[in-house]
Homo-oligomer: A and B are copies of this chain.
Amino acid sequence: MDRGLPLRPPPRPDDAPMVWNGWGEPSRRPGIGRREERVLAELLGGPLPHTPSVSLDEVAVPDVALPGPVLRRLAGIVGERHVRTGHLARVAHATGRSYTDLVRLRRGDGSSAPDAVVVPADHREVQRILEVCAEQDVAVVPFGGGTSVVGGVNPQRGRRPVVSLDVARLDGLWTLDRQSRTATFGAGTRGGDAELTLGAQGLTLGHLPQSVEHATLGGFVASRSVGQASTGYGRIDDLVLALRVATPAGSLRVGHIPASAAGPDLLRALLGSEGTLGVITEVAVAVRRAPDRRAFEAWWLPDVASGQQALRNLAQEGDAPEVARLSDEPETRVALAQQSRSARAYVRTRARRREGCLLILGWDGDRRALAQRRRVARRALRGAGGRSLGSAPGHAWAAHRFDTPYLRDDLLDRGVLVETLETAAPWSALSHVHASLRAALVGALEERGTPPQVLTHVSHLYATGASLYVTFLALAEPGAELDQWAAAKAAATRAILDAGGTITHHHGVGADHRRWLDEEVGPVGVAALRGLKDALDPTGICNPGILLPQR
């Protein structure tokens, strides 16, 4: 069986910090070749300049502001070697992995670095760290895999010293209830490791976001993550059953298996709390029998509207595949442009037309059920004017589906702005959100003289709607990359909100989306979130400035 997961556990940040210009071992890093460079230059309307970056050692971090006695108290809890104040540890915990994070680090700006990185071994140590930090008024930024693309783990330096609380040592499968199909993991367990551990037992969680090799279960929960197979397996919201959480107000356990009506669901109040209410230390999830088979298939649809309608029908009748990803015309064109001439010819021959949209589908299941479900999908897609491209392009996508983030380093080396954003909307509003968002990005970046390529796909299907995932590329404005990004981001978010989308379907709020949360949930909603925070984190030391404004 093809599990489709190139899972090579990367080095832990505790041993060697992640380098900002690479997510894993350099050996596996996919790169940009001459051919891709030529295509990009053509698409973006200009030669790609070489844009150098400083070395990791040259990233400037502020002086350590934590007083010695506090550092000693923390060391008394976790041990000397688990309180790290070295340059590399601080740089590795200064940011997540957004475009703006990379831009800042490449310039040598490590101003958001924490004063220290603390790496506790268990829930009790986390609870004690919070107690000491609350007493000493030290901010605590929970840190999982560090893959946030919205600034969720970037210390928002204010008046307080900051420690980054890395949950790397809270890892592993702690309990497995085969009869109830539930598993409890340490919150610092990486998604890929959890999947490998469960796989050895014939089980799966089925949660595979692009960050799966690095991101942790606690991070998935804290940011309301969604995996590539969410159409079949559900969001992390649907997979998580219970949590153990350390907060400045004390420890709590939330969630009852299988379900409860005992008041508001506190599990759901911790989901998406992004470290602002406390530190998740333990995550209980629902697991399933690992599927016997996994199949991928690519289709060619005449246009995005017909593809969207076919996917909607499948989702609403309960016939959707586990993975569904429909590229719009521009994304399809760029994907094809990067292929060899023979590959393009193959697609066009099978598709019997030059223009159209690429659709990738993936199924998990037993042989018989899988065959039956593929038949139903085939019927729907043929009805929509689609043509199968066979399984090869589907498997090719699956083989490289965790690679894209690695390409950003090569793109930044070549002076390319590359950013992703995402939203979700009801089926009835999806095309409108798509068009508005696209127009806003094109408008904002053309105005700056850097016309973008805006590539979108529909994915993560629900009966009631779907998400839109956008990648945009443009020539970066040397020295003004952050302004350029901010203008594009603001235009896109404005368009999303006006058209009825959400500011985020699965990246989370972090620092980047914070200013729009008010509009998303309303001032009374923000007051409710503030009430929750005041109850669990009365002095406001937990990830201050994330989700809610700092005060």
A366 to nearest B CB, angstroms?
9
Contact with B along A238-276 (1 / 0, CB 8 A): 000100000101111110111111111110111111100
Q: Which chain B residues border A277 with CB–CB below 8 Å?
A: 264
A504 to nearest B CB, angstroms?
5
Q: Which chain B residues border A509 with CB–CB below 8 Å?
A: 261-263
Pick the interface stretch among A114-122, A344-352, A395-403, A424-432.
Answer: A424-432
Contact of A464 with B258 in the complex, beta carbons under 8 Å: yes
Q: Which chain B residues border A504 with CB–CB below 8 Å?
A: 260-262
A: which residues have CB within 8 A of B? 177, 179-182, 223-226, 235, 237, 241, 247, 249-254, 256-266, 268-274, 277, 286, 288-289, 312, 316-317, 424-429, 460, 462-467, 502-509, 513, 517, 520-525, 527-536, 547
Please name 19 further chain A to chain B contacts, defined as beta carbons within 8 Å, in addition to the given A254-B525, A262-B513, sorted by A numbering.
A180-B464, A249-B527, A250-B523, A252-B522, A258-B426, A258-B467, A259-B465, A261-B272, A261-B509, A263-B273, A263-B521, A264-B271, A266-B521, A268-B268, A286-B464, A524-B536, A528-B532, A528-B535, A531-B534
Contact of B529 with A464 in the complex, beta carbons under 8 Å: no
Copies in the complex: 2
Contact of B256 with A264 in the complex, beta carbons under 8 Å: no
A457 to nearest B CB, angstroms?
16
A451 to nearest B CB, angstroms?
30
Contact of A259 with B535 in the complex, beta carbons under 8 Å: no
Complex: A60 Cα to B359 Cα, angstroms: 69
Q: Given A179-B427, A261-B224, A463-B286, are A536 and B529 also a contact pair (CB < 8 Å)? A: no
Most chain B CB neighbours (cut-off 10 Å) among A270, A274, A505: A505
Subset of 25 A-B contacts with CB under 8 Å: A177-B426, A177-B428, A179-B312, A179-B426, A179-B427, A179-B428, A180-B427, A181-B316, A224-B261, A249-B524, A249-B527, A253-B525, A254-B525, A257-B426, A257-B464, A258-B462, A259-B460, A260-B424, A261-B508, A262-B521, A264-B271, A265-B269, A288-B463, A531-B531, A532-B532
Q: Which chain B residues border A528 with CB–CB below 8 Å?
A: 252, 266, 269, 532, 535-536
Complex: A202 Cα to B28 Cα, angstroms: 54
Q: Which residue of B lies closest to A150 (CB)?
A: B261
Contact of A520 with B270 in the complex, beta carbons under 8 Å: no
Contact of A180 with B465 in the complex, beta carbons under 8 Å: yes
Q: Which chain B residues border A180 with CB–CB below 8 Å?
A: 426-429, 464-465
Q: Which chain B residues border A517 with CB–CB below 8 Å?
A: 262-263
Contact of B462 with A502 in the complex, beta carbons under 8 Å: no
Contact of B181 with A226 in the complex, beta carbons under 8 Å: no
Contact of B260 with A264 in the complex, beta carbons under 8 Å: no
Determine which of B235, B268, B270, B317 lies in contact with A259 in the assembled complex, contact meaning CB atoms within 8 Å: B235
Q: Which chain B residues border A532 with CB–CB below 8 Å?
A: 264, 269, 528, 531-532, 535
Contact of B263 with A522 in the complex, beta carbons under 8 Å: no
Most chain B CB neighbours (cut-off 10 Å) among A179, A288, A513: A179
7 closest Cβ contacts across the A-B interface? Answer: A531-B535, A268-B268, A258-B465, A258-B462, A224-B261, A180-B426, A252-B524
